Amino acid sequence: MNSLYKIISFFFVLSVFSEIKANEILFLPAALEGEVRIRNSEISQSDLKYEFAKLSSDIINEDLYVSASAYENSNESFREVCSIRRVHYVIKDFYFFPQNQTPSVTTSIYNCSSSQEIRKESLLKGYIYQSLRDHYKKVFHFIPAKSTNTKETFKSKESNVLFFIDASASLSNEKAELNQFITNEIQMRGMDLYSNLVSEGSYFSFLNGEISSVPFAKINSPEDLWVGYRKHLQSIKKYKDVNVQFLVLSPIQFTKKKEWINLINDARSKGILTYIVVPYSSEHTYYQNIDSIVKITNSKSLPVTVWKKVGFLQGDEKYLILHKGYLYSSDENPGNFLALDEMDKKRIQIDENITPYNMSKLVEKYLNQKIIQESKFQSNMTNLLKNTLSTLNYPESVNSKKVLIRSNGQAMYILVKPNVNLVKGQSYILESNFIIDSSSSWNIRNNSIRTKIHNLSYKYPKLLEFKPSEISDYLKKFNLSELKAYLVVTVEEVL
């Protein structure tokens, strides 16, 4: 009976979808209630309702196997629109923006064939574009979604990655972050992540699975980790398309430099690039050892930074930052920066062992200032891993050419496909996806595979128009892996 039900359901969805061919979803101008704060000040309030409809149609065309468009006339009923325009569904979104609360959207879907109307509602948490994408996947669940590969994205040969983790007591704080990263970020990207762990001398292996079941209790001996790492290397040959590994070890383990140099070089001989994730520690010699290992093995290090916000009795508020064994104070939130070097900060001279748990007391002792308020400490480990994976999947040179453009007075280089013809001095609409890249202009880089160039008459959602500097701000503010944006650009030089 279940099989028969599934077959009937499948053919029902197929029959609905088979009728959908072109211009089948039409978004009416949205209804807006409350104070709508928008970044693009050039959009007038009278145009805002249409721009929300244009944004919605852009999302549908991007994510689903269906064609959508926006309708400028808001005075006609659903039935009237169906008779005028050859469409299958007419959609109207009702947005509510309450003051100091999470906004919401209610989508009304009118089926022109059956004259039936249904409604779906969602809260719009975080970045509204991403929340709307999730909302429409729920609303149009009967329409197949485009896969990551279909959407002309680029997957590098490093698409699947490998973790080797020292599941010891000293890394118990990192356990929750690692688990969340593996279960959320990796699955969202459609990648495979192989995690191998050593805990109390035992070896554990997972494919895209939670590591929460593995105890992070006792300290692993160097010998146990070496044995586990050799098993880890032996398992590489059975993993598909793995060219990158992350080592997450207690920093003290790298005091055995010679052994780890040999082990990492062994992975290097198999074509594996190694990233050493360095949890916080107050021992500067550990970082010196790691820097030496990185240099000799041609690998890379990702030192984790932790911080907390504190309030002093005299009224000042500061961020206390523990990075590579040193403690700093700053007026700026480290979470808003890609690298600590970009921050205005001051080192606090402390000659004791520093941890996230004692740094407030040590600051009181060495600065002779009373702390009356403090937040929980935070870490940038998830962002380090996320940005590294984004960079791996957005290679800087994949059959592309560089173009110097200027947008809103801000110059930057972009990558485009070799067959894209651009004329110096001409202006265009640039459509692309961007990631964080600290080595590029404005700390962002675009994906040439997902870059499109349009003429100035092209109609695009103005709510997705950005300045280069705003793209970086949004990526960091909303903790995004990538950001779709439109820019009005002038070509300065084609390299």
The full DSSP string for 80-119 is: HHHHHS--SEEEEEEEEE-TTS--EEEEEEEETTTTEEEE
The two structure tokens encoding residue 95? 């947005």
Find where tokens 């009923």 sit: 77
**Terminal CA-to-CA distance of the chain, rounded, Å?**
64
- Nearest one of 273, 223, 227, 271 to 247, comparing CA atoms: 273
DSSP secondary structure string for all residues of 14-62: HHHHHT--SS-EEEPPPEEEE----S-TTS-HHHHHHHHHHHHHHHHHH
Q: In this predicted structure, what is the pLDDT of residue 148?
A: 52
On whether the 160-303 domain is CATH 3.40.50.410, my answer is yes
Q: Taking residues 342-369, what's their average pLDDT?
A: 87
The percent of residues above 90 in pLDDT, for the chain, comes to 45
pLDDT band at 55 (very low <50, low <70, confident <90, very high): very high
Q: What is the architecture, at CATH level 2, of domain 2-139?
A: 3-Layer(aba) Sandwich (3.40)
Angle at 64 between CA 62 and CA 67, to 5 degrees: 80
Bridge-partner residues for 168, per DSSP? 217
* Residue 349 in this model has a pLDDT that exceeds 60: yes
DSSP secondary structure string for all residues of 4-24: HHHHHHHHHHHHHHHT--SS-
* Continuous segment of H or E residues that includes residue 359: helix 359-367
* Residue 357 in this model has a pLDDT that exceeds 50: yes
Return the DSSP state at 380: -
214-237: pLDDT as tens digits? 999 888 999 999 999 999 888 877
Q: In this predicted structure, what is the pLDDT of residue 457?
A: 92
Please state at what angle helix 128-139 crosses helix 45-63, rounded to 10 degrees. Answer: 60
Radius of gyration of the chain (CA): 26
Q: In this predicted structure, what is the pLDDT of residue 17?
A: 38
- Residues in CB range of 52: below 8 A, 6 or more apart: 29, 30, 32, 93, 95, 463
240-262: pLDDT as tens digits? 667 889 999 998 898 889 999 99
360 by Cβ neighbours in 10 Å (0-12 / 13-18 / 19+) ranks as: middle
The percent of residues above 70 in pLDDT, for the chain, comes to 88
- Nearest one of 205, 186, 107 to 385, comparing CA atoms: 186
For residue 369, the Cα-to-chain-centroid distance in whole angstroms is: 39
Find where tokens 């920066």 sit: 337
Q: In this predicted structure, what is the pLDDT of residue 217?
A: 83
- Nearest one of 117, 125, 98, 101 to 28, comparing CA atoms: 117
The two structure tokens encoding residue 114? 């059956």
- Nearest one of 486, 358, 346 to 414, comparing CA atoms: 486
pLDDT band at 383 (very low <50, low <70, confident <90, very high): confident
471-486: pLDDT as tens digits? 988 988 888 888 999 9
The two structure tokens encoding residue 394? 């957005």
* Residue 9 in this model has a pLDDT that exceeds 50: no
DSSP secondary structure string for all residues of 197-210: EEETTEEEEEES--
134-160: pLDDT as tens digits? 999 999 988 888 765 444 444 433 357
Q: In this predicted structure, what is the pLDDT of residue 145?
A: 82
Q: In this predicted structure, what is the pLDDT of residue 188?
A: 61
Q: In this predicted structure, what is the pLDDT of residue 155?
A: 42
CA pair distance 383, 389, nearest whole angstrom: 10
Q: Taking residues 371-381, what's their average pLDDT?
A: 90
- Pairing mode, strands 160-166 and 242-248: parallel
